[in-house]
Structure 1
Amino acid sequence: MHEDEPSSGRMPVDLRPTRGPVEYDDLVEVWRQAVVATHAFLTPEDIEDYRVRLGEQWLPAVELHVAVDADDRPVGFLGMDGHRVEMLFVADRGRGRGVGTRLIEWAASRHPVLELDVNEQNPGALAFYESRGFRVVGRSPLDGEGRPFPLLHMRRNEQG
């Protein structure tokens, strides 16, 4: 797959499965850039704790697909568990350039129904998912680690 619209501000990317643990450091850096830019509610200590868990526990637990630039450098990634989007993060250089949309549309092409959770304190992510056909179907007052970061549960049917 290749997205090829540089004139529209879109970043041309290829999507591929992850190369596994040898690539995790690069994916953690993509994650770090995205979290610093979009998760102002997290403290530096929270970010460090999640960073360690990401590389050791969470990346190995999902099916990972990576958006890479022309030099095969990761610019974004998607982690799936069946029809659930467990994680989607885009590096600074790819944000707002169609990378996240490419990853979501790739997932939607394989699963007629997609579900995900988004932090309530991340209005940019909420708007991103809503503009791509996701609707809020529930809320939890705590995140998956039991911390006070409310989650919105979202769902997208094949009609979008």
Structure 2
Amino acid sequence: MRLGQGHIGHVPRLLAILWAFTRGTAWLPKVRSPFTDLRVMCTVIRRGWVRVAFDGAWPVGFIAREGSRIHALYVHPKARGRGVGRALLQDAKAQACQLDLYVLQQNHGAWAFYAREGFAEAGRGTGAGNDENLPDIRMIWYAREAL
């Protein structure tokens, strides 16, 4: 697996990865149109926030990060359990002394993944700040050197 910077040519595959989760998660409300997802993906790629994990020539996961804030991390269902998410997080950790993110409380798998990767719960919210309006958890990771 290799990592690289996301570019506009990756958009169709990255949207397929995103939609595999959003459309395949029964408890997650569908709040954005495909056009909105396309617009947002193009915006974050143009801003340079997206790093992509590749299996051969194909993107199998991505992370969208603005400074210390992780906005999204998704791995294609067929690539889960192979270290893709961990590799994307390790890449982000190598570039920052602190990272933070919000995970939906109902997303137990993501919460457990981030906890295993050294993120600690820093607070819970009602969901007023997320697209889905679902309760969330703020999680923070600090580099050992920063502690």
TM-score, length of structure 1 as denominator length: 0.80
Structure 2 counterparts to residues 10-159 of structure 1, below 5 A: 13-20=1-8, 22-37=9-24, 39-43=25-29, 46=30, 49=32, 51-61=34-44, 63-70=49-56, 72-145=57-130, 147-159=132-144
Instruction: List runs of 5+ in structure 2 lacking aligned partners.
Output: none
Structure in which a larger fraction of residues adopt strand: 2
What is the aligned length?
142
State whether residues 59 and 79 of structure 1, in contact with CA within 8 Å, keep that contact through their aligned partners in structure 2: no
Q: What is the Cα deviation at residue 96 of structure 1?
A: 1.1
TM-score, length of structure 2 as denominator length: 0.87
Distance 1:50 1:158, change over 3 A: farther
**Structure-2 separation of matches of 1:23 and 1:65:** 10
Instruction: List runs of 5+ in structure 1 lacking aligned partners.
Output: 1-12
Q: What is the Cα deviation at residue 147 of structure 1?
A: 4.0
**Structure-2 separation of matches of 1:129 and 1:25:** 27
Structure 1 moving runs of 4+ over 6 Å: none
Distance 1:34 1:141, change over 3 A: same
State whether residues 16 and 65 of structure 1, in contact with CA within 8 Å, keep that contact through their aligned partners in structure 2: yes
Distance 1:112 1:145, change over 3 A: closer
Give the aligned CA root-mean-square deviation in angstroms: 2.0
